[in-house]
Amino acid sequence: MVKVRAARAAEAEALTGLVMRSKAHWGYDAAFLAACAPELRIRPDEVTARRIVVAEDPQGTVLGLASLEGAGPLATLGLLFVEPSAIGQGVGRILYRDVLRRAVQQGVRRLVIDSDPHAAGFYRAMGAVAEPTGPAVAAATAGAADTADAADTAGAVHSADRSGRLVRFEAAPAPLADWARAWTGGGRAVHVGNVAEFNAQFGDSSLDREQAAAHHYSCLAAFYSPCPSALVLPRAVPAGWTDLVCRQLGWTGVEVYDGLVERGPGLADAVRARPALAARLTGAGEPLVPWGLTRPFGLLTGRPWRSGELRYESKAAAHGLFERILAEGGHPGIVLPAQVRAATRWSAARLLAARARAGKSTVVKSEHGVGGSGTTVVTAGQVRAAGGARAVLRRLPRGPLLVEEFVEGPPDPGAARDLTYDGFVDADGGLHEVGAALMDVTAGAYRGATVGPGVVPDWAEKPVLAFGAAVGRELAASGYRGWFDVDFVADAAGRLAPTETNLRLTGPAIAFMVAARLDALRGAGHLVRIADRVELGARLPEAQLEELCADLARSCADLGAVFVPAIPTGAFDPAPWMGVLVAAHSPEALDAAESLVRAGAAAVGAMFDAPASAAP
């Protein structure tokens, strides 16, 4: 394993030789290299002053070097060179990330990089943002020529200006967000993918018995905190998937325990049935983070189980909570849709029919349900077309139903409609605000979410954060401890209507976790989008799925974006799909990355298309 250490003054001459060999790797002629030599020379008295570090292999061979020059808040990546024989081994990535880490420690908030044109793709892939003005200064007059790992320079400028003019980039070093440090104490955590176990405790008829979707969704355990030490999963996952995820998010030493549950939802019980595994996971002194709290998880971790702790997971109980908060005043931008709990199917049919006769749409909900399961929007026209309200209800899951007023959205189809607040209550009852996100919801079903700076419109952000915090305080007072969210829909007048709480991790929570990790790893300001379902054009063998994901990662890196396959196991379903995360520093790059991923996923079936018949 490559490690980074401080360079020594006695190494100055050898390091200068490495720099010149690395620069020559790109084919510059002798005259150009001679002109650069004075600026690229490392003198013994500069090693400490320029904060030079080296990357070395287990045998002590130096493979590359980097320098961090200047003082906060503005500093420069002065040198980043890799030994030609080590190019393609990830050394440049390790050195760059070390520079960002040290920059954060020294209070740097703006890091300037004058890159060799051949390395421009590397810095773009690492999250640095190119200045729009283009090339900076000639390499012969700059003390900051960079050459980096060719395997990480998918977007390199291969037709570079032979003068070696430098391309200026900037990065914004950032510490891990305060809330992310509070979530797991700033360290690594064991992630337990107990999605099906959480769902099963509610006995919700809107969820299928086999919990197939829940087992797929358990793959999101990879992202339950910004830095996992172990993943505990019910079903087996491709080994190449975890390797790529770790590479994209800079994780090392992540242990994977998968295939623990052949049938049913009992992941925590399956771990407890393996005493050696249970002892390993609980005895390391690291927090265990579940999708949601359950009695079996409490037994595994020794956490007291409080049966009423999850009562506001109920949509009816949450509605009552919202009503009490609004009755106290202080939330003028929030309105609450009327909701009635139907005692019988017949009473639900009467309520639905009455609203349909008035030309009104209705939201019919099960008491529980995840990701929009058990939530159905019914229009007046649908009631008429079905032959009446009873016929509509016969198609819905059995069990208690909530009949709720439908909130008409903004007239502009591109306006923000579905939003969410995420936060958590720590073990001491303290509330931590994570933020607000924009969700993609179609016909009541959650499809994905986007988090990051500027995603939530200014008019909506303040009321979302204020009301979400009020809900969090009530949850804390009720004894709940853990992650939660509050979902909202916007109405035609620009007001927000809260619709439910979720007392567990969610898709937007995963996007927040990844954004926090990428900000610390690549620089502040990431937009992250999670898309639950990206259709694949064909079912692929495991090796070909890994190849597709690696190709998508490289193509997104060309855009300065990050691709992370979030749910790989859906790729082996009869109708194949996968969940994905994409991240970028701009909305344009984020949209381009998502489009690229969707097109690439759809295109995998092209190789199986039958050739057109030849004309007679």
User: What span, in angstroms and rounded, lies between the C-alpha atoms of 525 and 518?
Assistant: 9
Is 68 inside a domain boundary? yes
* Same domain for 37 and 21: yes
Could you tell me which of 484, 330, 493, 534 has the C-alpha nearest to residue 407?
493
Among 257, 276, 309, residue at a domain's last position? 309
The C-alpha atoms of residue 3 and residue 353 are separated, in whole angstroms, by 69
Residue 30 sits in the same domain as residue 50 = yes
How many structural domains is the chain composed of? 2
Residue 242 located in a structural domain: yes
- Range of weakest confidence among 444-448, 470-474, 530-534: 444-448
Structural tokens at position 477: 């007072």
Whether 504 contacts 486, CB under 8 Å: no
Q: Is 52 within a domain?
A: yes
- Helix axes 30-40 and 12-24, enclosed angle (nearest 10): 150
Structure token digits, residue 92: 């440049």
CA 9, chain centre distance (Å): 42
Dist. CA 147–CA 64, nearest whole Å: 10
Assigned domain for 7 exists: yes
* Residues 12 and 111 reside in one and the same domain: yes
Which of 255, 257, 197 is closest to 232 using CA atoms? 257
Residue 331 lies in a domain: no
Distance CA 491, CA 402 (A): 20
Alpha carbons 376 and 9: distance in angstroms, whole number: 69
Average pLDDT over residues 399-413: 89
Tell whether 184 and 109 lie within a shared domain: no
| Spatial separation of the C-alpha atoms in residues 603 and 507, rounded to whole Å | 26
Residue 178, CA distances (Å) to 83, 185, 431, 434, 435 in order? 37, 10, 12, 9, 12
Residue 614 has a pLDDT of 45
Report the candidate in 59, 63, 57 with the shortest Cα–Cα distance to residue 11. 63
Q: What percent of the chain has pLDDT over 70?
A: 92
Crossing angle of the two packed helices 507-522 and 239-249, in degrees rounded to 10:
50
The Cα angle at residue 211 between residues 210 and 216, in degrees rounded to 5: 125
Q: Which two tokens stand for residue 175?
A: 């510490």
Tell me: do 190 and 248 sit in the same domain: yes
In a domain? residue 215: yes
DSSP structure class, residue 117: G
Kindly give, in sequence order, each residue whose CB lies less than 8 Å from that of residue 464, ignoring residues fewer than 6 positions away.
419, 420, 421, 436, 456, 486, 488, 496
**In the structure, what pLDDT confidence band is assigned to residue 407 with cuts at 50, 70 and 90?**
very high
Query: What are the tens digits of pLDDT across the range 219-240?
Result: 999 999 999 999 999 999 999 9
**Is residue 263 classed exposed, middle or buried when 0-12, 13-18 and 19+ CB atoms within 10 A define those classes?**
exposed
Residues 246 and 166 in one domain: no
In a domain, 263, yes or no: yes
Same-domain pairing of 147 and 213: no
Q: What confidence tens digit (pLDDT) does each residue in 361-404 have?
A: 999 998 887 766 788 899 999 999 999 999 999 888 777 899 99
Q: Is the pLDDT of residue 135 over 70?
A: no
Q: Is residue 428 within 8 Å of residue 295, measured between CB atoms?
A: no
253 and 282 both lie in a single domain? yes
- Under DSSP, the state recorded for 146 is B
Both structure tokens of 19: 């720099």
pLDDT digits (tens, 9 = 90+) for 65-99: 999 999 889 999 999 999 999 998 999 999 999 99
CATH assignment at residue 42: 3.40.630.30
Q: How far is Cα 350 from Cα 338, in angstroms, rounded to an integer?
A: 16
Give the single-character DSSP code of 70.
S
Handedness of CA 282, 285, 290, 293 (dihedral sign): positive
Element (H, E) at 22: helix 12-24
The rounded distance, in Å, linking the Cα atoms of 352 and 568 is 40
Phi, psi of 255 (to 5 degrees): -90, 145
Secondary structure letter of residue 9 according to DSSP: G
Q: Taking the mean position of all CA atoms in its chain, how far away is CA 278?
A: 28
- 583-600 burial, b at 16+ Cβ within 10 Å, e below that, comes to bbbeeebbbbbbebbeeb
For the record, the structure tokens of 428 come out as 């001491």
Structural domain of 215 = 176-309
Q: Give the helix ranges, DSSP H, for 306-455.
A: 315-327, 345-357, 380-386, 389-394
Q: Are residues 195 and 117 in the same domain?
A: no
Q: Taking the model in full, what pTM does it have?
A: 0.91
Name the domain boundary from 121, 136, 171.
171
Measured CA to CA, the distance from residue 462 to residue 443 in angstroms comes to 26
Contact call for residues 222 and 231 (beta carbons, < 8 A): yes
User: If you average pLDDT over residues 416-421, what whole number do you get?
Assistant: 95
Q: Which residues have a Cβ under 8 Å from the Cβ of 394 and sit 6 or more positions away? A: none
Angle at 176 between CA 170 and CA 177, to 5 degrees: 105
- What distance in Å separates the CA atoms of residue 547 and residue 545, rounded to the nearest whole number? 5
Tens-place pLDDT, residues 282-313:
998 999 999 999 999 999 999 988 878 999 99
> pLDDT of 557-594, one tens digit each?
999 999 999 999 999 999 999 999 999 999 999 999 99
28 and 150 share one domain = yes
Residues 154 and 274 in one domain: no
Tens digit of each residue's pLDDT (9 = 90 or more) over 95-117: 999 999 999 999 999 999 999 99
Cis-peptide into 73, omega within 30 deg? yes
CB 383 within 8 A of CB 322: no
Q: How does pLDDT run across 585-601, given as a tens digit for each residue? A: 999 999 999 999 999 99
**Domain-ending residue, one of 287, 309, 331:** 309
Q: What is the pLDDT of residue 164?
A: 55
Whether 12 and 82 map to the same domain: the answer is yes
CA distance 147 to 82: 7
How far does CA 82 lie from the centroid of its chain?
30
Would you say residue 461 lies in a domain? no
Give the tokens for residue 549: 């994901």
pLDDT value, residue 133: 57
| Cα separation, 354 vs 276, whole angstroms | 60
* Average pLDDT over all residues of the chain: 90
